[in-house]
Amino acid sequence: MVSGANQITEGGIDARRLGQEESGDSSPARLASLGEGDTVRVRLQRFDPTRDEAPYTESYEVPYSKLMRVLDVLNYIAEDLEEDLAYRWYCGVKKCGACAVRVNGREVLSCWEAAEPDMVIEPLRHAPVIRDTVVDRAPHEERIKRMSPWLERAEPYPGFPERLSHRDMGGVVHALNCLSCMCCTSACPVLDLGADTDFAGPAPLVQFAQQALDPRDAMDRGRIALDEGSVFDCVSCYRCEEACPVGIPVVSAIIEPLKAMAYRSMPARAGHVGAFLDVIEGRGRIDPSALVLKTQGWGVLLRSPGRTLRLLVRGKIDPLKTFFGDAAKGIAEVRRLFDGTRDWKP
């Protein structure tokens, strides 16, 4: 059972953040959770697929050192306790992206994130485990390669320095911050679905966006985002943004522009987007039945007639309104907004 925090006091609560304080959900609280003389208790997932039947857990106690990071804890286990731990890191300072693990279910860069008093440390998800916390990066890298991660110019390179402003770079600058650490990919729920999706996952898409969103690039990136990225399988859950250790707005600055490019490049393959726009332009508001019919065709009603009937009975769909209902009030104004923005480009 989750306790219903009884913390509402008179005057000015911020309901949006309820739960934050009691769970120490902030950087200062996390920094303050350990101090000199404390012990960090670690439960580490160990697994050698060439030798072990299944993953198992080992516990370690590590003395706290000043401003300790998760990597300092792992280093202590490997270097001072001389344990045979498999873990990966190169730079130690948030530059290589190789050290990501999950701590208490949350993806972190181990060299960047503060240690916590009690930590369950596990490997990233959605990547095969090589040993302990080390995962195989090859599938991730392969996916990036498939998306042609280099510039292709429409015009020959004009010579150094090329005319380009910081403004022109826009969202690319966000993508450039990406360390390819795969935290976001580990957090992405769509990748839980395995063979049911061919979604690239957020990490390769952010890498891809470094070129796709670059104003100097002329490749048909919209097509690649669909063919190699299945970008419309992203459900917009923002798990990736929450996980990203460098704070990249993965959804708003990367995935949505890629979806826009995909839609522009191949509108037929992004049928629901076009249908959505048409419905709103026509009626001002979205009627899900109209949307589904436009996207999937009439056949959808017949595919599961039982369900269609149930939806009708419960008032979930209303064919009369869908086909003969009036547009929302103010539709003329809404259409004017459509007209006024038709020239927008990603």
Partner 1 sequence: MKFAYYPGCSAQSTCKELNVSTRLVADRLGLELVELESAACTGSREVRAANRDLFLALNARIMAQAEELGLPLMTICNTCTLNFFDAKKMLADDPEACARVNEMLGETGLAYKGNVEVSHFLWVLLEEIGAERLRELVVRPLRGLKVGAFYGCHMVRPPAHFGFVESRNVRSIETLNEILGCDSVDYSGRVECCGFHTAAGNEKIAVKLTGRHVRSARDGGAQALVTPCPLCHTVLDTFQAEMERDLEARLDMPILHLPQLVGLALGLSPRDLGMDNHMVAVDLPVGAPVV
Partner 2 sequence: MKTMAEEVVIVGGGGAGTYAALRLKELGYDPLVVCKGLIGKSGCSIFAGNLVLSGHMLGTTDAQSEATMEYFTKWWNNFLIDQDYLVKGGSWIEETFYPELDEAGLYFRRDDQGDIVASVGSVRNIAANQQGQSGMLLMDRRRKQFAEKNIRSLEETSVTALLTGSGGEVIGVVALHYPTGERYAITAKAVVLATGHSDRLSTRSTGTREQSADGIALAARAYAEMCNLEIQWWHASDFAYPKTWDRMHVYPNPLVGSTESARMYNADGELFFEQKTDAPVGLAPYATQFKRVGEQVAKGKARLDGGYTTSYAHIPPEVVKEYNYHAKAFEKVGLDVGSDHVESAVSWHCRQGGVHCDPHTMETSVAGLYVAGGIGGHSNGGIGVVSFDGNIVAETIAAKDVSAWAQPELPADQAEAEDGRLAGLLRPVPEGGVTPMRIKNKLRQLMWDKMGFEKTEPGMSEALEVVRSLRQQAEAGMGLKNTTPNFNYGWVDAIDAFNMIDVCELTILSALNRKESRGPFYRTDYPYTDNENWHARNILIPTPDGGVEFRVEPYATPYLEPEFERRDYFDVPW
Nearer to ligand SF4, 75 or 210 (CB): 210
Q: How far is the CB of 160 from partner 1 (least distance, A)?
A: 30
# residues contacting partner 2 (CB under 8 A): 72
Find the radius of gyration of the CA atoms of the chain: 25
Contact window for ligand FES (CB under 6 A) among 88-96, 262-270, 295-303, 307-315: 88-96
Check whether the bond before 161 is cis (ω within 30° of 0).
yes
Within residues 152-191, the interface with partner 1 by CB under 8 A covers: 189-190
Within residues 150-189, the interface with ligand FES by CB under 6 A covers: 179
Within residues 122-181, the interface with ligand SF4 by CB under 6 A covers: 178-181
From ligand SF4, partner 1, ligand FES, none, interface partner of 248 (C-beta below 5 to 8 A by class): ligand SF4
Question: Is 123 in contact with 101 (CB distance < 8 Å)?
Answer: yes
Residue 91 binds to partner 1 (criterion: CB under 8 A): no
Question: Is 284 in contact with 330 (CB distance < 8 Å)?
Answer: yes
The CA distance from 150 to 208, in Å, is: 9
Q: 8, 54, 302, 320: which one contacts partner 1 (CB under 8 A)?
A: 8
- Cα–Cα distances (Å) from 184 to 25, 33, 274, in that order, read 19, 25, 29
Looking at 70-151, list the stretches that DSSP marks H as alpha helix, in order from N- to C-terminal side: 70-75, 138-146
Nearer to ligand FES, 183 or 234 (CB): 183
The CA distance from 211 to 222, in Å, is: 12
Q: How far is the CB of 211 from partner 2 (least distance, A)?
A: 7
Q: Which of 281, 287, 275 is nearest to 339 (CA)?
A: 281
The CA distance from 252 to 245, in Å, is: 16
SS (H, E, C) 179-215: CCCCHHHHHCHHHHHHHHCCCCCHHHHHHHHHHHCCC
Residue 96 binds to ligand FES (criterion: CB under 6 A): yes
Q: How far is the CB of 83 from partner 1 (least distance, A)?
A: 28
Q: 70, 190, 224, 270: which one contacts ligand SF4 (CB under 6 A)?
A: 190
Residue 203 binds to partner 1 (criterion: CB under 8 A): no
Question: Is 310 in contact with 267 (CB distance < 8 Å)?
Answer: no
Neighbours of 336 (CB within 10 A): 10
Q: How far is the CB of 246 from partner 1 (least distance, A)?
A: 13
For 92, left (φ over 0), alpha (ψ -120 to 50), or beta? left
Within residues 142-181, the interface with partner 2 by CB under 8 A covers: 144-145, 148-151, 157, 159-169, 172-173, 176-177, 179-180
Q: How far is the CB of 103 from ligand FES (least distance, A)?
A: 13
Q: 34, 77, 101, 111: which one contacts ligand FES (CB under 6 A)?
A: 111
Within residues 247-306, the interface with partner 1 by CB under 8 A covers: 247, 249, 251-252, 256-257, 259-260, 263, 271-273, 275-277, 280, 284-289, 291-292, 295-296
Which amino acid does the sequence have at 1?
Answer: M
